[in-house]
A and B are shown apart, each in its own frame.
Chain A
Amino acid sequence: MATVVDREIVLAVEDLCVELSIGGTWVQALNDVSVTIRRGEVLGLVGESGSGKSLTALSIAGLLPDNARVIAGSIRLNGDEVLGKSEQALNRLRARSVALVFQNPTSYLNPVLTVGDQIAEIFELNPELLDDGHARAPRSRRERRREAWRKTIEALRLVRIPDPAAVVARYPFELSGGMQQRVVIAMALVREPDLIIADEITTALDVTVQAQILSLLAELRRSIGMTLLLITHDLGIVAQLADRVAVMYSGSVVESSDVSSLFKAPKHPYAKALLETVPTIHGDHTVFRPIPGAMPALTDPPPGCRFHPRCPDVLPACSTVAPEPLAVARDHIVACHLHGTPRR
């Protein structure tokens, strides 16, 4: 398998710190979060609710809500710093460089426009998408419209929507959840973005439909080589689709590595424990082990390592010093005192 490591870096998030305003006070929600994604790579960002994974995605897209603020760090997309951009620049960014696909497709589709109109609108707003090395780029309005329409149907076919010519005239409410999600994915793909962020895109779908969407993503990954930030709580999805994984806990990345290393030899106790909570079928019986306790509230985090009250391998240093992320192997980073000397 060709090493992804040597390809160019599309997204570089470095030491991102974000605060949230909860009940009037600002609390640390993201602590020195660092992730990198290279071209053509799928990075799985795994964590439970409250771990900060969605907040990270929103930060990258410049969509942080009013009660959140970035206090440190940098987010570079194709070398271009995202933080500090004006709203206008961010809009341009979201139009072409970063495409987002979220959990509930119904909320992201305009209910009064047909599916075809919504996708064609993207071409209308970004006419450069229509010139793709044609001998003669479409000039007149009618030619552009025709080309946009053609590409729209092509996009629907790419996401395996049956009978695209008919679906193009449908309104979102006439489509099922799975179909709607495919449309949103199509809308993301036609932009030819540098990065696609998919946040829990199958959580709201039935399991057989989820399988269809996951299989579609696997296929797209093979055929067009998407650069994808896949956010999910489901370790199974990560195992099936991701090249690399970053595990988040209470606002920090606790471990990041290639997917095989994480599943075969996880280093961070939380990553280990998380893998063990997934009930897996081994022959005749099912095994799993729960993690005692619960993720701490952002307003009252434990001192030192945030996981230490629940950690089975806790050391004395864990309750005083927060561990720094250290590389334990090539491209394998862990933030844990068990795998690195704590600094005083």
Chain B
Amino acid sequence: MSDEPFVVVENVAKHFPVRGFFGRRTAPVKAVDGLSFQIPRGRTFGLVGESGCGKTTIAMLLVKLLAPTAGHIRFDGTDLAGLKGPAIKEFRRRVQIVFQDPYGSLDPRQPMLKALIEPLATLNVVANRARAVDRAVESIELVGLDRELLKRLPHELSGGQRQRLVIARALAVGPRFVILDEPTASVDVSIQAQILSLLAALKAQQELTYLLISHNLVVVRYMSDVVAVMYLGRIVEMADAAELFTRPLHPYSSALISAIPIPDPDARTITALAKGDVPSPVNTPAGCRYHPRCPYAERVCTEQEPPLTELTPGHHAACHFPGIAAGVLG
């Protein structure tokens, strides 16, 4: 047991080759490009960003569905790349993911019971079928679902029930680290609140470590201890949750925060701090990747990419003019 943080992502890059016409190799899509962060045991790390920022890619890298083009990912001291054979199964028992779109994550022909039992068999979590059924029932009840639902097929469940089911499925194998990819994106507002409470309760109960990926900043703030803001494959700001939301240093963070419509009619403050569209990772801009959208961009921003530096203890930002947007937020 090393005294290294539980999850270590070190300079990870993932490039997808793109083939142009007639097999010509054009520039690769740099979905993730030089990403580094650490998650201590028992904490929740929030990853925020819009489409194309690479958050789904890093999730896939962390569960070993993809292999990094460069860099290392270590879980509990062991490099993911070195895992072979039975060690991979052990890894899968300890690291689980709850994907976005619970409906898509389920085999439409499998009744709930089968869906829950299958991983227990494939990952050798239990000795026999009877134990598997017990464990399945346990997990179902843990997430607040009635065991009556076990014989249902995915399309016979509501959105909220499906979301709980995929959480139960992930937890049934007994993981220590769970990646939550947009856990509330496909459910209604009132169900969202239920799911978030459930996740918080489960974390405490099962002593889990979470990586929470979401574009919804309020959700991230509620659940996370540390938050990192991603943009085009890199982290542009990283800090404790409370600190990030009260004193964001990167203009993109400010843009994300101010973009949330506040449910208060007396505080009518819709500010669109980011110009233009969310970029795609196919053509990353020169210099600071955010500069085409940044209202404060100067010449240096178009030429030099700012490195991610620790500006105050625990608070990192990659910007030539950190804190420049601070005056805009109330």
Contacts and interface: CB of A to CB of B under 8 A. Distances in A.
Contact-residue bracket for chain B: 35 or more
Interface in B199-228: 215-219, 221-222
A273 B190 contact: yes
Contacts of B216: 207
B69 interface: no
Interface string A136-173: 00000000000000000000000000100000000000
Interface stretch (A3-11, A76-84, A105-113, A284-292): A284-292
A208 B270 contact: no
Interface stretch (B16-24, B25-33, B252-260): B252-260
Interface in A206-241: 206-212, 214-215, 218, 233-240
Contacts of A178: 277-278
B114 to A, nearest CB: 24
Given A48-B188, A233-B189, A234-B261, A206 B50 contact: yes
Contacts of A209: 277-278
Interface stretch (A52-60, A85-93, A275-283): A275-283
Interface string A237-255: 1111010000000000000
A114 B197 CA distance: 48
B247 to A, nearest CB: 13
B260 A290 contact: no
Nearest to A214: B270
Contact of B222 (A48, A218, A260, A286): A286
Contact of A208 (B192, B194, B218, B272): B272
A284 B242 contact: yes
B255 to A, nearest CB: 5
B189 A277 contact: yes
A176 interface: yes
A270 to B, nearest CB: 9
A21 interface: no
Contacts of A294: 158, 160, 190-191
B260 A236 contact: yes
B192 to A, nearest CB: 7
Contact of A260 (B158, B197, B221, B265): B265
Contact-residue bracket for chain A: 35 or more
Interface in B231-270: 242, 245, 255-256, 258-266, 268-270
B218 A280 contact: yes
A239 B265 contact: yes
A336 interface: no
Nearest to A287: B222
Given A286-B218, A288-B222, A279 B193 contact: yes
B309 interface: no
Contacts of B221: 279, 281, 286
Nearest to A290: B193
A334 interface: no
B110 interface: no
A64 interface: no
B189 A278 contact: yes
B173 interface: no
B274 interface: yes
B142 interface: no
Given A215-B270, A279-B196, A286-B222, A176 B277 contact: yes
Contacts of A95: none
18 contacts: A48-B189, A206-B51, A207-B50, A207-B217, A207-B259, A208-B255, A208-B259, A211-B272, A236-B261, A236-B262, A260-B265, A274-B190, A277-B190, A277-B193, A290-B190, A290-B194, A290-B197, A294-B160
Interface of B: 50-51, 158-160, 188-194, 196-197, 215-219, 221-222, 242, 245, 255-256, 258-266, 268-274, 276-278, 293
